[in-house]
Each structure stands twice: as C-alpha cells, then as structure tokens.
Amino acid sequence: MVEQQLNEIIQKMTLNEKIGQLIQLATPFFKGASDKGEITGPMTGMGITDEISQNCGSVLGASGAREVMNIQKAHLEKNRFGIPLLMMADIVHGFKTIFPVPLAMGCSWDLDLAEKSAEIAAKEAAVSGVHVTFAPMVDIVRDPRWGRVMESTGEDPYLNSLFARAFVRGFQGTNLTDDQNRVAACVKHFAAYGAPEGGREYNTVNMSERQLRESYLPPYKAALDEGCEMVMTAFNTVDGIPATGNKKLMRDLLRDEWGFDGVMISDWGAVKELIPHGIAEDSSEAAVKALQAGVDIEMMTTCYVDNLKQLVENGTIEETLIDEAVLRILKLKQKLGLFENPYRGADEKREQEYILSEEHRKAAREAAAKSCVLLKNQSVLPLNRHQKIALIGPFAQNGDILGPWSWQGSYEEAVKMDEGIKMKIDPALLTVAKGCDIETGTENEMNMAINAASEADVIILALGESSAMSGEGGSRANICLPDIQLQLIAEVKKLKKPMAAVLFNGRPLDLHGVIDQADAVLEAWYPGTEGGAAIADLLFGDANPSGRLSMTFPYSVGQVPIYYNHFNTGRPKTSEEYVRYVTHYLDIPNEPLLPFGFGLSYTTFSYTDAMLSADTMNSEQPITLSVSITNTGNVAGEEVVQLYIRDVAGEIVRPVKELKAFKKIMLQPNETKEASFTITEEQLRYHHENLQFTSDAGTFIAFVGRNSQDVSALTFKLVN
C-alpha cells in the first residue's frame, strides 16, 4: 500500500475513527484479551466505552501469539477499513529470556552483544505478537537515587549513543517489512527524563539548552539516526514546560530540526498529567497542548478521544493536524506489513521453538558474565572448587534477579545463585543459608547463617536490593544496602574467613559496610535469566570479569549527582591538604568511591608507550594516539582501553574529561597489543554560546587508560 492509498483511507474515515487511531489502551480493554496484560501505570476512572476501544489504534502490553491473534481478529471483524491494531509493549532487556538490565549491559562496553540481546528480545517478542517495543531507554543518568538508572546504559553521552544505536539495530534489523522476527523500536523518554531533581521519580528537570544539547540529547538523536521508528515523551518538565506539551522540544527540535517523521507517543497518562503539572486547566486544554506540541498517540488517558472532535468542530484544532498524526501511524502499520498480514510474526509453534531456547539462554549467560563488574578482589576470587563454601544472604536462592522491567520473565526460569554454584562443585561442599530477607530478618535466621558460615572455608554473600527497590517509581534517598544486610555482613565478618560479596541491585550503591568488609565484591546488577550460571562462571574462573562501570559509584549519597565529565570550577581541589576555599566537602572526599570506567579482572594489564603521532592537528590532518597494553598476569583477560579528551580553554567551559573512544582487547598472559585511536577535529566540537557545534583552536589533553581516573595524559594543539 502506498502513501496515497493510506491518504484515501484517511479521507474516508470519520473524525471519531481518526481520533481513535490516536489513543492507546492497555490489553484488558480489548475483546479477545485475557486480563493479564502488562499494567505499568494508574488505570482508574478511564470511562472507556465499546466505541472507544473499537476505534482504538494500538494496544499496550498484549503478548502471546494466541491472545494477540484473538484481539486482532475481534478488532478487524468490526473495522470498516481493515486497519489493524499495533501491539506495543515494554521489551526492555529481553522478552522471556531476560538479559542483564541495560545499566549492566552498559558495563559490558560490548555493542555487538547489546545488538544481539535486542535481536533475541525482538525475535521472542515478535513470535508472541508484539510489533513495537518501548525501548531503548537512553536517558543520561547521573543520580543513583533515581530508580530508573538501571534502565539506561549509564551516564555518558557517547557510550549511551553507541548503545542506543546497537539496541535499535538489534530490535529493528534492516527491513521491518520483510523480517518478521524484528520489532519497531521506540526511543524514550524525550527528553532529559534522567535528570529529575533530587533523584525523585517524575520530578522537575531544569537545565540549560546547552546542557540538554551537549549531554542529554545525543543518545536520542543517535537512536533516530539509526532509523528508530518511534519516540516516547518524558513525564518531566523541560525548562518549565512538561515534555509532553513541549512544542519547542517536539515540533521545533525533533520534527523540524532533526527531521523525525515517525510516530510520537506520550508516556502513560502524560497527556492528562499536563493538568496537575499546571499548563492545562482541563482535559480539553491538555489535548490541545499535546497535539499541537506533536504527540500523535495518547497513552492510557482519554483527553484526545474525549475532546478532539469538539475542538475540531469549534475551530480550535485544525483537522489536518489529526490527519497528519493518523498518516504517521498508518505508515508505521504499513511498514510493519500489518495491512497484508495483521498477525505478522505471531505464531504459536515458533513461540515454543524460540522462547528460552538454548541459543537464547547461551547468549543471555554470556551477556550476564560480561556485564558483571569486579569491584574488589583481595586474593579470594576465583574460588577453589574443592573448598567448603557457605552461600549466605537473601539472594542465595532468589529468582528476583531479572530486574524491574522484565514483566514476561519468570523467577522459575531464572538460574539462581545456588543452582549456578552447584553446576561447578560437588554439591556436598555447599551450604546455603539466607541469613535475612532483603529488608527484614529474624535472630534465628541470622544465627543459622552464622553457623553455616562457621563450617565453611570461604563465604559468599549474595546481597542486594529487591527489584521493587528500583525501576519506575523506585527512587531511594538512602542508597546503602538495607540495614539488616549490613548487619549480616558485620556478623559474618566476625568469623574472620575469606568472604566475597555478590551484589544484585539496580543502581550504584553507597557501598560502605560492604566494600570495606568483604575481601572481594562482584557487582552483578540484575543479571537476568542466566544470572546464577554466569556468576558461577565468574566466581570459579571459567570466565574472567571484563565489565567496567558505565555509571559512577558515589562515595556517599551526599555527592550525587556525580559524574566523571564534570566541570573543573574556578577553585578546583588540587591537593590532599586541607585548604578552605576550594571546592570540597568537609566530611567526604570529592572523588567517587569508584569512577566511571572502573572494573577489575583476574589478570592485570600494564599500559606503556602512550604517544601521539604529532603534537598539532587540524581539521584535515587528524593525529593518532597509540598505547601498548600487556597482560601481566597469569590468565587471559579482556581490557577496555579508554580514550578521554579535555579542551583546556574553550569559549564555553569544557568538562575535565570526555570519553571519545574505547577498544576492548583480549590478551593472553604476557601478550602485548597496541591500541590506536584517531583523534579528529570533529571529536573536539561542542555547542558554543550561539549553540553552533564547532571546535576551538588551542590546547587539548588526551587521556588514555583503564578507567576515567587512572590515565596517562598527552597534550596536543588544534590549529586552524
């Protein structure tokens, strides 16, 4: 079907039918649906009539081939033009085979792996009838109090942009029409949702346009450059105007400046939320503002269906605005091949074959192993397989390792930690005791754990946050482990035995009480379905940790927001000595506990001979930075070589360092490889006072090293 035919349909549609395309409702509102769909927001008092659900254009949260086909069939039986429903859902990091949460994937610094994970998620979702996933979430995150940091790949605009592209490639492939194992992607949350004040969910975002363009917008742009089909608005305000009613953001920037012509959907209820935000007095005004700003589909509230007809009739809204939105939606349906085959990939037989297949589980295990970050290791790991192990803690046998955005994942299918360990050793050598629950516990449980630990040669603590403690609506002001778990560590520590902690959590935590007590700490995040198996691979040395933090771990919550690419200030702290009038805290260091890019391995790497090919460059003549890396330990390992650059004096203050490139290299013991990076003028550009994206001639420092702090510095000049 060509655009002209779609336009012909639009011309024949009644105004109500057209407005219907602009609403999205959750599964339970549809005929043919079970009531099990994904419910991720408030749902009261919606007043959905049969006519509204019959005209509705898309469904939120339906999945399962049978159910989706039932819904589509019932819908088409009553649709005059045979316009199929779009089935959308949150397939964030896996469908039923759950991959590590995006923050963990970010720590893999492995783009192929990220692409593969999205491809597998798409395949499982597509056979289950899903057409569009609400992913990737690419918001820059600098405040670990915010529960949704686990949903982003981290704090860095460059790294997040690369991951945004990788995920979009994986979800969408190269031909959505013919490749029915793929789904359309919807990048979110436009814009700057990752910067709520105080880290409190849904809170105000206030930032300059330059900061928005410099740090927060690049990952969304990268997703769109990769061909991402849809964009979701954010819940927050941006410069005083809620994103969902923000014309400057959507019409001026997204559509006019960036040329985005795909479908824009509001987040759940965000159109109606223009009322409590305080830019609309009622649902009619909310509808006007959202549509005029550029929202095509209203998710889960009814401002459009309740008001647009009247607004067109009284001349407030031009009908062409509605027609344009409908056309964009129909074009997406057409691109997905739904007019020809409304059931698309949905297939009960293939569902059995693909979902949780051995191949998918294998990929999830590899991803989990590569996403874990070894934060400390004082000669405890890898473990010797012949010693007695006590596995202690609320995550010892817990399936809550999938993360808060895995609505189709099942705890039963998840490989728990004890199961993973039993794959590696004689089960008789393992004793398991919970010690406490995640937030509460009894003296008896604690005593049992101490008894178990006292019999063992080595103790593994399995600790963390429940998945409900992060994710949407999961902000925390205190980002330590719950007290009861800190108490458990302290009690077990008294036994003076070697002790390794494995952490399951959705945010960088304040690790006091953990990192100072345990001899080794492995950050496992929410590793997904194969979590226990992958962790056991790492604990016993069948895999070597290679993850590097893509988000800073603060020294304490008092430092947040904290991020490596900050400004220097006019009074930087340059020595350990106390000087009053410099930027510092009196009671804690300025430095984070663990910096961006940090992660240990079971081997060690040395960096030598860092050099530049020349000490000046210009836009025609880039320079090359090279460095030799040697594996100086006894086992093979993967290093992430990181290149940062600082513009020493710009028209605008520039960050102390910005990640510009990285390379993952595998090295056998004693092997040396050279990593080289080309530095181009383009990499030195930034947004100037007039928002032009250009570079300044002058001095720059290139830093190369194993993380954002441990680097060698080389100076060069950019000349005109």
Nearer to ligand NOJ, 284 or 301 (CB): 301
Q: Contacts with ligand NOJ in 162-191 (CB under 6 A)?
A: 188
Q: Can you tell me the distance from the alpha carbon of 103 to that of 470, in angstroms, rounded to the nearest whole number?
A: 12
Side chain identity, residue 509: L
Q: Which of 95, 99, 109, 134 binds ligand NOJ (CB under 6 A)?
A: 134
Q: Can you tell me the distance from the alpha carbon of 414 to that of 530, in angstroms, rounded to the nearest whole number?
A: 6
Strand runs (DSSP E) across 381-473, as ranges? 389-392, 430-433, 458-464
Q: What are phi and psi of 22, to 5 degrees?
A: -95, 10
Nearer to ligand NOJ, 409 or 592 (CB): 409
Give the end-to-end CA distance of the chain in Å, rounded to a whole number.
52
Find all residues with CB under 8 Å of 156, minimum gap 6, and list them: 140, 550, 564, 565, 596, 659
Q: Contacts with ligand NOJ in 240-269 (CB under 6 A)?
A: 267-268
Return the ∠ at Cα 262 (arms to 161 and 123), rounded to 5°: 65
Q: Contacts with ligand NOJ in 519-548 (CB under 6 A)?
A: none
Distances (CA, A) of 602 to 148, 484, 671, 681, 710: 31, 31, 15, 37, 18
Q: Does 40 bind ligand NOJ (CB under 6 A)?
A: yes
Q: Are strands 658-667 and 637-647 parallel, antiparallel or unpaired?
A: antiparallel
Residue of 640, 554, 550 lying closest to 601 (CA atoms): 640
CB count within 10 Å of CB 239 equals 15
- DSSP type of residue 297: B
Q: Are 1 and 84 in contact (CB under 8 A)?
A: no
H or E element, residue 624 = strand 623-631
Nearer to ligand NOJ, 132 or 364 (CB): 132
Q: Are strands 499-504 and 458-464 parallel, antiparallel or unpaired?
A: parallel
Q: Does 146 bind ligand NOJ (CB under 6 A)?
A: no
Q: Contacts with ligand NOJ in 557-616 (CB under 6 A)?
A: none
Exposure class string for 658-668: b at 16+ Cβ within 10 A, else e: bbbbbbbbebe
Residue of 161, 150, 240 lying closest to 201 (CA atoms): 150
Nearer to ligand NOJ, 40 or 529 (CB): 40
Q: Which of 41, 227, 541, 650 binds ligand NOJ (CB under 6 A)?
A: 41
H or E element, residue 615 = none
Binding string, residues 79-98; x marks residues near ligand NOJ by CB under 6 A = -----------x--------
Q: Can you tell me the distance from the alpha carbon of 524 to that of 107, in angstroms, rounded to the nearest whole number?
A: 10
Q: Contacts with ligand NOJ in 384-403 (CB under 6 A)?
A: none
Cα 223 to chain centroid distance, Å, stands at 13
CB of 472 to ligand NOJ, least distance (A): 5
Nearer to ligand NOJ, 337 or 506 (CB): 506
Nearer to ligand NOJ, 24 or 552 (CB): 24
Distances (CA, A) of 122 to 126, 139, 183, 329: 6, 21, 6, 20
Nearer to ligand NOJ, 53 or 546 (CB): 53
Exposure class string for 158-178: b at 16+ Cβ within 10 A, else e: bbbbbbbbbbbbbbbbeebee
CB of 57 to ligand NOJ, least distance (A): 16
Q: Can you tell me the distance from the alpha carbon of 418 to that of 421, in angstroms, rounded to the nearest whole number?
A: 5
**In which residue are the tokens 């692409």 written?**
115
Q: 90, 110, 267, 696: which is the annotated catalytic residue?
A: 267
Binding string, residues 188-207; x marks residues near ligand NOJ by CB under 6 A = x-------------------
Exposure class string for 403-420: b at 16+ Cβ within 10 A, else e: bbbbbbbeeebbbbbbeb
* Percentages of the chain per state (helix, strand, coil), in multiples of 5: 30, 20, 50
Q: Which of 298, 472, 639, 696 binds ligand NOJ (CB under 6 A)?
A: 472
- Max CA pair span of the chain: 80
CB of 297 to ligand NOJ, least distance (A): 12
Nearer to ligand NOJ, 165 or 188 (CB): 188
Nearer to ligand NOJ, 188 or 221 (CB): 188
Is 267 one of the catalytic residues? Answer: yes
Nearer to ligand NOJ, 126 or 234 (CB): 234
Total residues at the site for ligand NOJ (CB under 6 A)? 8
Contacts with ligand NOJ, residue ranges (CB under 6 A): 40-41, 90, 134, 188, 267-268, 472
| Active-site residue set | 267
